[in-house]
Amino acid sequence: MRTIVSLLAGAAMFAGSTLASQAADLTLRISLQTPLKSHLGQNLLLFKDEVEKKSGGDIEVQIYDSAQLFKDSEVPEAVGSGALEMGVASLTRYVGDIPAVDIFYMPFVLNSEEKIRKAVAPGSPVRQPLDDAILETGARVLWWQAYGTVILISKGEPIAKPADMADKKARVFGKSLGTWVSVVGGVPTMISGSEQFLAYQRGTVDLGMTGVSGVQSRKLWEVMDTITKTNHADIEFLVVINEDFWQGLTDEQRGWISEAARVAEIDVRDRVAEIEAKAYSDAEENGMTIYQPTDEEIAAWKEASAPVIDTWLEEAGPLGKQVLDAANGL
C-alpha cells in the first residue's frame, strides 16, 4: 500500500507544477472516491462552479474523482497532514480516531429523514461536537454530503422484526452493521457493493442491506423482491479542508468557500431525498414490495439492538454519550 510519506512528496511536486500552470491566485485540489457522474461528484461540480463564480476566477477548484490521488481510506490523513488541500471521505473513516462518529450507524437512533436533517444541520448538538473532534485531526469540515439511509432487502417476505433475521445470512458493509446483525440473531457476511447482485442470485446470503439508490442502480429487483424500510442507519460523507491551509486564506477567500459549501450542502441533501423517492418508485414498478415496519416492530428492533449501542458507548466515551443523548432528543 502506498505510504502517506511517499504521497506527500508526490503531492508536493504535483502541486508545484499545477500551480505554476494556473492563472488563478489559488488552487483547491479535491480528492473523490466515486466517479464524477455520481451524485457526490455532481455536488462537487456545483461547489466548483459556485467558488469560481463568487471569486471571479481568483480560486480554481480541481476535482480528482475515482481515487486518482488518494483512496477514501487515505483522505483523512492526506488532508489532515496537508498533503492535499481538500478531500471527500466517508464519515466512518474517522471512527478509528473518533469512535463517536459511529452514532450514524447505531441502529434505529437516526431512523427518519426528519431526525437526520436535524442531526446534520450546521451547529446541531449532534454534528458540532463531531466537527470539533475532526478539527483536532488537522482537517476542518466544510460540509456533509448525504448518501442515503440503509434498508433491508430480501426474497419472499419482509424482514419486519428481529425474529425474521434469526439464523439468516445477511450482506453487510461495515463493522457496526455486522455487529448489529449478530446481536439480533443473524449471520453477517461482508460483501462489497459491486458483488451484491451475484451474492443474492447465487444464494450466498439470504438478505442484504444497502441504500435504496443501490437497489435502483444495480437492478437488485432482478434477484430480490422485497424492501423493508427499516432506515436503521444513515450513510454520510464529509468534505474536509486542511486547517493550516484554511487559516492561511484571507477572510474574503474563506467567505467565498464557505458560501459555496453551504449551497452545495443544501443541494445534496435535497437531491438525495429526490433520488431515494425515485428509487422506491422504480423498485415498485419493477415488482418489488415495499414494507414499512409498524411502530411496534420498530420498538422490537430497538430493544433487540440495545446491546450494540451499549458496546459502542464503552468505546466512544463521553463524546459518544453526548451525541447519543443529543440524537435521542431530536
* Domain boundaries, given as residue ranges, for the chain: 4-147+235-279, 151-233+285-328
**Contact between 205 and 186 (Cβ < 8 Å):** no
23 — pLDDT class (breaks 50, 70, 90): low
Query: Average pLDDT for residues 56-72, to the nearest whole number?
Result: 94
In sequence order, the β-bridge partners of residue 236 are 146
- Each as own residue / partner, the long-range contacts of residues 110-114 (CB below 8 Å, 24 or more positions apart, any chain) are 110/233, 110/234, 110/327, 110/330, 111/149, 111/230, 111/231, 111/232, 111/298, 112/231, 113/149, 113/273, 114/330
In this structure, of 7-16, 119-128, 228-237, the range with the lowest mean pLDDT score is 7-16
What confidence score (pLDDT) does residue 9 get? 38
For the chain, how many residues are written?
A: 330
Flag whether pLDDT at 18 surpasses 50.
Answer: no
Flag whether pLDDT at 7 surpasses 80.
Answer: no
Q: What pLDDT digit, counting tens, does each position of 65-99 carry?
A: 998 999 888 999 999 999 999 999 999 899 999 99
Q: What is the pTM of this model?
A: 0.84
> Alpha-carbon distance 292 to 298, whole Å?
10
- Per CATH, 4-147+235-279 and 151-233+285-328 having the same topology is answered yes
**Contact between 169 and 288 (Cβ < 8 Å):** no
What confidence score (pLDDT) does residue 244 get? 98
Q: What pLDDT digit, counting tens, does each position of 318-327 carry?
A: 999 999 999 9
* 3-state SS, one letter per residue, for 13-45: HHHHHHHHCCCCCEEEEEECCCCCCCHHHHHHH
What confidence score (pLDDT) does residue 285 get? 97
Flag whether pLDDT at 253 surpasses 50.
Answer: yes
Q: What pLDDT digit, counting tens, does each position of 132-149 carry?
A: 999 999 999 999 999 999
Among 201, 100, 158, CA closest to 301? 158
Q: What fold does the segment set 151-233+285-328 form as a domain?
A: D-Maltodextrin-Binding Protein; domain 2 (3.40.190)
What confidence score (pLDDT) does residue 19 get? 39
What confidence score (pLDDT) does residue 260 get? 98
Q: What pLDDT digit, counting tens, does each position of 156-167 carry?
A: 999 999 999 999
Q: What pLDDT digit, counting tens, does each position of 259-318 carry?
A: 999 999 999 999 998 999 999 999 999 999 999 999 999 999 999 999 999 999 999 999
What is the residue type of 194?
S
**Average pLDDT along the chain:** 92
The CATH number assigned to the domain with range 4-147+235-279 reads 3.40.190.170
Query: Average pLDDT for residues 13-24, to the nearest whole number?
Result: 46
